[in-house]
Amino acid sequence: MPQDQSVSASLIRRSDLPDAGIVSLMVPINGEMTAIIVQCDGATLRAWLNACPHEGRRMDYVPGKFLIDKQNLVCAAHGASFRLADGFCTSGPCRGESLRPVSVWQAESGELRFGCAES
């Protein structure tokens, strides 16, 4: 699988994702299909809602295609820059805010599950 690709599925295994890179997924969270971003780094998966805290727009400029500047994810709409390490915005119109984190865990069946605290 290419490093930046959009995937729509509810049954996703770690092996369905790249070893490294960023993907966008549509997954069920709290009963609703939700767009998320997953950063794959070996055994580590970091995930956030695919919604910029500035105006709520998707972070990818087309599904699965992201702007990356060094170790930062850049919002295609107005250029806010978020550290990939923790989703914190270091510059742009929502500086000081963060992407909303999504929990990722592996079910006993081997499928990945995703969760997000309700706001």
Please report whether residue 97 would count as binding ligand FES according to CB under 6 A.
no
Please report whether residue 78 would count as binding ligand FES according to CB under 6 A.
yes
Name the strand (E) or helix (H) holding 46: strand 44-49
Q: How far apart are CA 26 and CA 39, in angstroms?
A: 14
Name the strand (E) or helix (H) holding 69: strand 67-69
Contact 59/73 with Cβ under 8 angstroms? yes
Please report whether residue 83 would count as binding ligand FES according to CB under 6 A.
no
Instruction: Classify the C-alpha dihedral 52-55-61-64 as positive or negative.
Output: positive
- Nearest approach in angstroms of CB 57 to ligand FES is 4
Q: Which two tokens stand for residue 112?
A: 């990945």
Please report whether residue 35 would count as binding ligand FES according to CB under 6 A.
no
Residue 112's closest CA among 46, 21, 20? Answer: 46
Task: Select 55 or 86, whichever has its Cβ closest to ligand FES.
Answer: 55
Please report whether residue 87 would count as binding ligand FES according to CB under 6 A.
no
Position among 80, 99, 102, 104 found at the interface with ligand FES (CB under 6 A): 80
Position among 12, 73, 92, 102 found at the interface with ligand FES (CB under 6 A): 92
Please report whether residue 100 would count as binding ligand FES according to CB under 6 A.
no
User: What residues line the site for ligand FES (CB under 6 A)?
Assistant: 52, 54-55, 57, 75, 77-78, 80, 92-93
